[in-house]
Amino acid sequence: MENRDKYGYDITQLKAEYQKYLEDPYKRGLESGLAEFDSIVRLSPSSFAIWTASAGAGKTTFINYYSYIMAKKYNWKTLFISFETPIYSHIKDIIQMDKGKSCEEQTIEDFDSIESLSDNFIFAQTDSISDIDQISRCIKYYVENHNINSVVLDPFNYINIDGNMDTNNIGKALRRLAKIPKRYKILLNLVAHQRKLQKDEPSGENILGSVHFKNMADFIIVMKRDLENNSVLITADKVRDNVDKGMMGETIELYMDTKNKHFSSTRPQKVDNSTDLLTRSLLKDHLANRNKDTEWKQRA
């Protein structure tokens, strides 16, 4: 009978593992600079984050904004593998965030003036990407040749998986995807749609009807549109290193500035046009009365 425990960690190995944790610069996650978001979620490299939302909640716009502020703060490079959203839509958002120009105001000169557009935002041509092997090779190439820090994979249901899209095959696919960020030390952001909701709120359990999304993710960020307040509610549905990297179960409310598509907790002030409307109305009445006076004088 062997005396040595070949299955467990010895004290030297335990100390080495703990030392590795202490020296990890990302053990508290990375702050994006958006204080409200940072209070509930601090994403980090080597992590698998899943973003989900009810329809029209603005998850693509917010992920674009998150990628933009991470580029500004850390010079992060993000690779977009975007099957559903047109590339021009990402570019339009980034220019609007950087220049504060709406789509009607933007010109090709704005594209040329943003040096970071080609350095920090990389867009894969998805015509030749369909399965997880191809996704992994694409990410490997951009890690080795462009030193990317983050990947946005949008959305999950466009990926060809082995077999039908049932919960067991989804679980196998997610296990493979979850290995990618750890292998390449990047943040992998996966966008996944909710199943058709009726009374249920959007959540990690309601993604395509499979609980494996909740099980496999390091983070799950759920977004919901509050139509009454014209705001976005963001919930940290899962934080694997809870407290260290966020507060699981907490929800924040953010508003988007429609001018530059920046998000904050400050509700945009509504422009009060009542004074201008009153002025225009009085002027209209004044001109109408003056015209009447002129007509009476001419008749007289």
Count of residues in the chain: 300
In a domain, 210, yes or no: yes
Asked whether residue 296 carries a pLDDT value surpassing 90, the answer given is: no
Per-residue pLDDT, 145: 97
22 within domain boundaries: no
Domain assignment of residue 2, yes or no:
no
User: What is the distance, to the nearest Å, from the Cα of residue 78 to the centroid of all Cα atoms in its chain?
Assistant: 12
Asked if pLDDT for residue 190 goes beyond 50, the answer is: yes
| Claim to verify: residue 164 and residue 236 sit in the same structural domain | yes
Task: Let me know whether 250 and 286 are in one domain.
Answer: no
144 and 276 fall within a common domain? no
Q: Is residue 13 part of a domain?
A: no
Q: Is residue 185 part of a domain?
A: yes
Looking at the structure, tell me whether residues 128 and 274 fall in a common domain.
no
The SS3 call for residue 224 is strand
Do 181 and 51 lie in one domain? The reply is yes
Longest dimension (CA), the chain: 127
193 and 168 within one domain: yes
Is pLDDT above 50 for 230? yes
Residues 255 and 291 in one domain: no
Q: Do residues 147 and 292 both lie within one domain?
A: no
- Is 132 contained in some domain? yes
Regarding whether 280 and 148 lie in a shared domain, the answer is: no
Residue 15 located in a structural domain = no
Question: Is the model's pLDDT at 171 over the cut of 60?
Answer: yes
Q: Which residue has the tokens 């502020």?
A: 69
Q: Does 247 reside within a domain?
A: yes
Does residue 76 share a domain with residue 42?
yes
- Do 227 and 295 lie in one domain? The reply is no
Same domain? For 279 and 155 the reply is no
Number of domains observed in the structure of the chain:
2
pTM exceeds 0.95 for this model: no
Q: CATH number, domain at 211?
A: 3.40.50.300
| Full domain range(s) for residue 228 | 28-269
> What is the per-residue pLDDT across 66-107, written as a single tens digit (0 to 9) for each?
999 999 999 999 999 999 999 999 999 999 999 999 999 999
163-172: average pLDDT:
91
Closest CA to 125 of 115, 116, 117, 134: 134
Which tens digits make up the pLDDT trace of 249-294?
A: 999 999 999 999 999 999 877 655 444 555 555 555 555 555 555 5
| DSSP SS3 for 299 | helix
Is 140's pLDDT higher than 50? yes
Per-residue model confidence as pLDDT tens digits over 144-165: 999 999 999 999 999 999 888 8
3-state SS track over 150-208: EEEEECHHHCECCCCCCHHHHHHHHHHHHHHHHHHCCEEEEECCECCCCCCCCCHHHEC
Q: Which amino acid is at 118?
A: S
Note the pLDDT of residue 275: 47
Binned at pLDDT 50, 70 and 90, residue 115 comes out as: confident
